[in-house]
């Protein structure tokens, strides 16, 4: 009986060692970079070719074939007033008197992270690609980081606009025309409405890299 017990213990020990061996030998999964609003590391890599790791073919095709409708200065001004008025109404507070500096209520809810991610993917990245491709036409080797800081103000019926966009500290891609393209692209577009109204300030660094040469078209 003692020999059988020793044999069982020995078999169990071998089984544990066997499992540990294969667990240690199993290849580790590649890390997955998840988006955030931290400015400590690039969130998105934008390249000239389809090899950009955070962009797929749909992003690139959309950027080149589906330009966003632009708001005129008057249209933007009117939409801004309407969104601000809606947020004041939802807060149950009186807006500033006519002629007073524009501002929003103190307790405006934040927009959902999923909405921010959708806007970054569907709207901001395609616009950034366009601006970058215009820069590459002038400077084929241009690359670097653009740390964007901007505020999205949105109403669940009227849509959303970007306010107060700027290139923050740590930006290395400082071409003036490129910076103007980025900021004007963001501030002249009306974006899809979220499910819930709100306001969020986003700090979003883009890493721009020339990547591979684009394929030649048919001759």
Sheet holding 44-47, edge to edge: 44-47, 198-209, 144-155, 159-167
**Whose structure tokens read 């950034």?**
128
Average predicted confidence (pLDDT) for the chain: 71
Percent of the chain with pLDDT over 70: 64
First to last CA, the chain: 85
Q: pLDDT at position 68, please?
A: 56
Mean pLDDT value of segment 96-123: 84
Instruction: Kindly list the distances between the CA atom of residue 39 and the CA atoms of 2, 42, 184, in Å, as whole numbers in the listed order.
Output: 65, 7, 22
Residue 210 has pLDDT above 80, yes or no: yes
Q: What pLDDT score does 69 carry?
A: 64
Residue percentage of the chain with pLDDT more than 90: 26
pLDDT surpassing 80 at residue 199:
yes
Tens-place pLDDT, residues 20-58: 333 333 322 222 222 233 333 334 444 443 233 333 344
pLDDT level of residue 73 (50, 70, 90 thresholds): confident
pLDDT the model gives residue 205: 86
pLDDT digits (tens, 9 = 90+) for 147-166: 989 999 999 999 999 988 89
Neighbour-count burial of 161, counting CB atoms closer than 10 A to its CB (0-12 exposed, 13-18 middle, 19+ buried): buried
Strand partners, 153: 161, 199
> Which pLDDT band holds residue 176 (cuts at 50, 70, 90)?
very high
Q: Which two tokens stand for residue 213?
A: 């040469």
């Amino acid at each position: 009986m003692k020999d059988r017990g020793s044999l069982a213990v020995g078999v169990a020990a071998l089984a544990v060692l066997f499992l540990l061996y294969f667990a240690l030998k199993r290849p580790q999964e590649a890390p997955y970079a998840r988006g955030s609003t931290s400015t400590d590391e690039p969130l998105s890599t934008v390249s000239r070719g389809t090899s950009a790791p955070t962009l797929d073919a749909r992003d690139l095709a959309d950027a080149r074939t589906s330009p966003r409708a632009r708001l005129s200065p008057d249209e933007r001004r009117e939409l801004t007033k309407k969104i601000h008025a809606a947020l004041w109404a939802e807060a149950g507070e009186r807006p500033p008197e006519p002629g007073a500096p524009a501002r929003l209520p103190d307790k405006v809810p934040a927009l959902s992270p999923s909405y921010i991610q959708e806007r970054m993917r569907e709207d901001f990245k395609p616009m950034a690609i366009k601006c970058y491709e215009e820069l590459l036409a002038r400077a084929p080797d241009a690359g670097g980081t653009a740390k964007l800081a901007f505020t999205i103000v949105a109403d669940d019926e009227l849509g959303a606009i970007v306010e107060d966009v700027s290139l923050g500290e740590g930006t290395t891609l400082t071409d003036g025309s490129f910076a103007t393209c980025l900021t004007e692209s963001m501030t002249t577009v009306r974006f899809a409405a979220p499910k819930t109204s709100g306001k969020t300030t986003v700090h979003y660094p883009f890493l721009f890299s020339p990547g591979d040469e684009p394929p030649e078209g048919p001759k």
